Copies of this chain bind each other. A is one copy, B any other.
């Protein structure tokens, strides 16, 4: 449970940045080196390395160093836990609104 929670912490936090979401979309088209990514996003190499590290720690990107070049590709995580969390949240939200609806419908007759 703690493990799942730490997992959700790191993924949601990783997704909370438009550059990092952009990097994921970019890698969805084709694998890229950190240098290519830095170029595509008009960013310093150091800046892009930090973003990739965050994505890697969250399991959203895998990197591999070949010679002096670090290659990045998507995966292994597929955001399944995150989808489940959001779905549970929406179910809870609907139940909450339903209860509120019931209360409002019931109120005229039941209150003195």
* Chain A interface residues toward B at CB < 8 A: 5-6, 8-18, 21, 24-25, 28, 74-75, 78-79, 82-83, 85-87, 89-90, 92-93, 95-96
Contact = CB atoms under 8 A, between A and B. Distances in A.
A41 to B, nearest CB: 14
Contacts of A11: 16
A28 B93 contact: yes
Contact of A28 (B24, B79, B87, B92): B92
A74 B90 contact: no
A87 B86 CA distance: 12
A12 B13 contact: yes
Contact of A86 (B6, B14, B75, B86): B86
